[in-house]
């Protein structure tokens, strides 16, 4: 039986849509080549062959719906020719492919709902949160497992009009301000624009409510912001919970949805707590929690137990409402609270006359003994029949399991599946390593770019401040030179004035007129003495004023440079944060993709085992059981698996 040669491709639409946002390491062709060891061009033919073989053996399996084919082109093939979904049953079913043999196996649909989802092994190196898009995957698998039609019809982008309206019109001014506010809002949120078309409508709007329509994860992660993603995932978590199990906070001012609990409170096992307002809610009636020791009035199971107890001879005490069993032969019952009452009618027992209603306890007790004996006999007969059937079933199952384990065909198929599982783990680790290496290189390149920009800005700031200081020193030297020249001029003038005033009465040349010193000349001489006296203080004051202005200009320059450096550091930090967020999104996409690939592998393995079982049963005419799927090893992410973080 060459079942292992039939390897259907991973063409599940949920596996990954090879769009522009998918990481380059998640190419479907590499997975098909390295793990399944088939050519991407032969994948569709192999899947058709496997589906046809399953249909010929009477195994109903639906072809997985695809959003894109393995070559990346839209898949336009119709899925209307596929059979109904493979039935899932734990009971005995007659095998259609063998000679009246009986099969007791757990069959599964070759669809997203056939195999239970494995536990999510999401690898998050930057972001750790409780709400992930795996809830959305499980929710889609719950609401409609057989939704095969296209979920979306995308239209080309709408044509934008580049004509600029008049700025003097009221509507254009409003639109301009609205556009400016929208742009500032987008910059503040640092969100990237969506690469998807602007107009996207849902197909078949009559298929409401909206929770039956599937939306691709890559679209959601690119369109929604972080806060909107959290709100969306909370809604998914709420609607993925069955409506009868949904619990909301009973506080009228809160009303928050309380997700299903993972751990039970040992002190209050029948209560849950609202995370928002810490209000306790009863899980039975979904109202305020009941005090300790009080039963919930909506506990139907407790009511059923009480009815069974009454049928078995138990009665409720009229005083403490405790169930009391009749241990003696008469109808007199005594509770642990010392209350006494009649077993037949429940009336209060009188120590003198007995039952106040004068009930015939012997007749009732005799009828109860006969009914109890009949019930015990019927139960023993039923248990004996069940035991006989179970022993026969167990013997047949053990014989079929032994025959299956000793079958060389099953052993060869199981060995092939184990090898595929090992190749899957090798390819997964390789893909993670390649992605994390690319992340480290991109972050290192961005950090080096930021370091270069910071160094250039610091050098420019140093040159600018040095130039300003040189200009200030030159200006001070020029001022000092000007003041010194003014001081020399004052001294020369004072010297000439003193010489003029000291030569009074002297006449070296007879033909020259006599020198006359007036009161005005003396007054000017005194003023010149005052100027000389205060000249140093005045010059030093001018120098101090210039130094204050220069210090203020230098301080303003340093503040501007510090502000520029802080803005650059904030911009760099924002770019690093955006890059790390994109890395976290890619990690989520990688983890989700490999989880879905694992589910597809498990579906293919189970279908191959089912086909082999049918073939052997039809060929040998005996019953075979289906081997269990290979167990996936529990891998724990260690520090060595992750690349060291690059710090700026």
* DSSP line for 71-109: TSSB-----TTS-PPPP--SS-EE-SSSSS-EE------
Q: Are residues 540 and 492 in the same domain?
A: yes
Domain boundary, last residue among 550, 579, 608 = 579
Q: Which residues does 283 contact at the CB level (< 8 Å), separation at least 6? A: 247, 270, 271, 272
Measured CA to CA, the distance from residue 336 to residue 278 in angstroms comes to 38
Instruction: Count structural domains, the chain.
Output: 4
Measured CA to CA, the distance from residue 600 to residue 115 in angstroms comes to 9
**Tokens 């000389």 -> residue:** 532
Q: Are residues 491 and 419 in the same domain?
A: no
Measured CA to CA, the distance from residue 149 to residue 134 in angstroms comes to 22
Residue 290 resides in a domain: no
Residue 61 resides in a domain: yes
Residue 402 resides in a domain: no
DSSP state of 383: H
Burial category of 91 from C-beta neighbours within 10 Å (exposed 0-12, middle 13-18, buried 19 and up): exposed
DSSP state of 67: S
Q: Are residues 274 and 387 in the same domain?
A: no
Measured CA to CA, the distance from residue 129 to residue 233 in angstroms comes to 11
- One DSSP character per residue, 622-641 reads S---PPPPPPPP-----GGG
Q: According to the model, what pLDDT value does residue 532 have?
A: 77
Measured CA to CA, the distance from residue 141 to residue 113 in angstroms comes to 6
Contact 131, 237 (CB under 8 A): yes
Q: Are residues 435 and 453 in the same domain?
A: no
Phi/psi of residue 216, nearest 5 degrees: -70, 140
Q: At what angle do helices 134-143 and 519-620 cross, to 10 degrees?
A: 40
* Residue 559 lies in domain: 446-504+519-579
Measured CA to CA, the distance from residue 341 to residue 335 in angstroms comes to 8
Q: Which residues does 424 contact at the CB level (< 8 Å), separation at least 6? A: 35, 597, 598, 601
**Tokens 């949904």 -> residue:** 246
Residue 170 resides in a domain: no
Q: Are residues 467 and 417 in the same domain?
A: no
Q: According to the model, what pLDDT value does residue 140 have?
A: 65
Helix or strand or coil: residue 271? strand
Sign of CA dihedral 410, 415, 416, 418: positive
Contact 66, 44 (CB under 8 A): no
Q: Are residues 53 and 94 in the same domain?
A: yes
Q: According to the model, what pLDDT value does residue 366 have?
A: 72
Question: In what helix (H) or strand (E) does residue 456 lie, and over which residues does it extend?
Answer: helix 408-502
Tokens standing for residue 439: 């992340």
Q: Are residues 50 and 27 in the same domain?
A: yes
Angle at the Cα of 246 (from 240 to 250), degrees rounded to 5? Answer: 145
Measured CA to CA, the distance from residue 57 to residue 55 in angstroms comes to 5
Q: Are residues 122 and 195 in the same domain?
A: no
Q: Are residues 13 and 89 in the same domain?
A: yes
Tokens standing for residue 567: 């803005």
Q: Are residues 226 and 276 in the same domain?
A: yes
Helix or strand or coil: residue 332? strand
DSSP state of 244: G
Contact 259, 237 (CB under 8 A): yes
Angle at the Cα of 319 (from 368 to 337), degrees rounded to 5? Answer: 90
Residue 159 resides in a domain: no
Q: According to the model, what pLDDT value does residue 313 have?
A: 64
Q: Are residues 330 and 367 in the same domain?
A: yes
Contact 238, 246 (CB under 8 A): yes
Residue 468 resides in a domain: yes
Domain boundary, last residue among 225, 251, 282 = 282
Residue 167 resides in a domain: no
Closest CA to 111 of 88, 81, 136: 88
Q: Are residues 553 and 493 in the same domain?
A: yes
Measured CA to CA, the distance from residue 430 to residue 426 in angstroms comes to 6
Burial category of 527 from C-beta neighbours within 10 Å (exposed 0-12, middle 13-18, buried 19 and up): exposed
Contact 586, 435 (CB under 8 A): yes
How far CA 148 is from CA of 44, 95, 203, in Å, comes to: 17, 28, 12
Residue 176 resides in a domain: no
Closest CA to 18 of 46, 51, 40: 40
Segments in the chain below pLDDT 70: 1-21, 61-218, 266-267, 292-294, 302, 306-307, 309-313, 318, 321, 326-330, 346, 356, 358, 360-365, 503-517, 635-648
Q: According to the model, what pLDDT value does residue 206 have?
A: 40
How far CA 268 is from CA of 271, 280, 537, in Å, comes to: 5, 9, 88
The answer, yes or no, to whether the previous bond of 209 is cis (omega within 30 of 0) is yes
């Amino acid at each position: 039986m060459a079942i292992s040669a039939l390897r259907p491709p991973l063409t599940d639409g949920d596996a990954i849509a090879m769009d522009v946002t998918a990481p380059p390491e998640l190419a479907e062709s590499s997975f098909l080549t390295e793990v399944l060891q088939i050519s991407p061009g032969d994948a569709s033919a192999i899947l058709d062959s496997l589906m046809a073989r399953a249909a010929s053996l009477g195994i109903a399996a639906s072809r997985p719906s695809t959003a894109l084919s393995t070559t990346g082109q839209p898949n336009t093939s119709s899925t209307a020719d596929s059979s109904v979904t493979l039935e899932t049953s734990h009971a005995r079913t007659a095998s259609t492919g063998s000679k009246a043999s009986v099969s007791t196996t757990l069959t599964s649909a070759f669809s997203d709902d056939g195999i239970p989802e494995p536990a999510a092994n999401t690898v998050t190196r930057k972001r750790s949160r409780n709400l992930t898009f795996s809830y959305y995957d499980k929710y889609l698998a719950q609401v409609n497992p057989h939704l095969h039609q296209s979920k979306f019809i995308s239209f080309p982008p709408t044509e934008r009009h580049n004509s600029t309206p008049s700025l003097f019109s009221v509507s254009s001014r409003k639109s301009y301000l609205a556009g400016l506010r929208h742009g500032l809002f987008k910059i503040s949120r640092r969100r990237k624009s969506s690469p998807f078309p602007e107009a996207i409508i849902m197909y078949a709007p009559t298929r409401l409510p909206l929770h039956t329509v599937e939306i691709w994860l890559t679209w959601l992660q690119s369109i929604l912001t972080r806060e909107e993603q959290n709100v969306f995932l909370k809604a998914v978590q709420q609607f993925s919970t069955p409506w009868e199990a949904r619990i909301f906070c009973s506080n009228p001012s809160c009303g928050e949805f309380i997700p299903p609990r993972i751990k039970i409170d040992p002190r209050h096992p029948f209560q849950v707590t609202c995370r928002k307002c810490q209000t306790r809610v009863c899980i039975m009636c979904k109202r305020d929690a009941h005090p300790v020791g009080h039963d919930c009035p909506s506990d139907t199971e407790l009511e059923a137990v009480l009815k069974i107890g009454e049928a078995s001879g138990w009665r409720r005490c009229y005083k403490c409402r405790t169930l009391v069993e009749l241990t003696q032969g008469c109808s007199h019952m005594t509770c642990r609270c010392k209350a006494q009452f009649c077993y037949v009618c429940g009336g209060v027992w009188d120590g003198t006359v007995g039952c106040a209603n004068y009930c015939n306890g012997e007749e009732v007790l005799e009828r109860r003994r006969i009914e109890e004996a009949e019930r015990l006999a019927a139960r023993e007969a039923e248990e004996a029949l069940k035991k006989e059937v179970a022993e026969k079933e167990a013997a047949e199952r053990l014989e079929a399991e032994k025959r299956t384990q000793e079958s060389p065909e099953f052993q060869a198929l199981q060995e092939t599946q184990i090898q595929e599982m090992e190749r899957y783990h090798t390819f997964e680790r390789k893909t993670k390593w390649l992605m994390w290496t690319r992340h480290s290189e991109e972050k290192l390149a961005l950090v080096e770019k930021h370091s270069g920009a910071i160094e250039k800005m610091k050098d420019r700031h140093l040159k600018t401040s040095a130039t300003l200081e040189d200009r200030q020193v030159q200006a001070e030297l020029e001022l000092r030179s000007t003041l010194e020249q003014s001081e020399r001029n004052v001294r020369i003038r004072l010297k000439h004035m003193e010489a003029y005033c000291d030569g009074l009465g002297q006449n070296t040349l007879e033909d020259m007129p006599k020198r006359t010193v007036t009161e005005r000349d003396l007054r000017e001489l005194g003023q010149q003495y005052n100027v000389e006296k205060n000249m140093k203080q005045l010059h030093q004051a001018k120098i101090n004023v210039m130094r204050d202005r220069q210090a203020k200009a230098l301080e303003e320059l340093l503040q501007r440079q510090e502000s520029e450096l802080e803005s650059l550091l904030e911009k760099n930090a924002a770019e690093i944060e955006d890059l790390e967020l994109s890395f976290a999104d890619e990690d989520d996409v990688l983890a989700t993709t490999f989880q879905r690939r694992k589910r597809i592998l498990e579906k293919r393995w189970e279908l191959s085992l089912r086909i082999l079982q049918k073939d052997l049963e039809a060929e040998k005419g005996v019953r075979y059981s289906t081997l269990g799927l290979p167990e996936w090893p529990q891998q724990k992410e260690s520090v060595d698996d992750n690349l060291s973080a690059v710090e700026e």
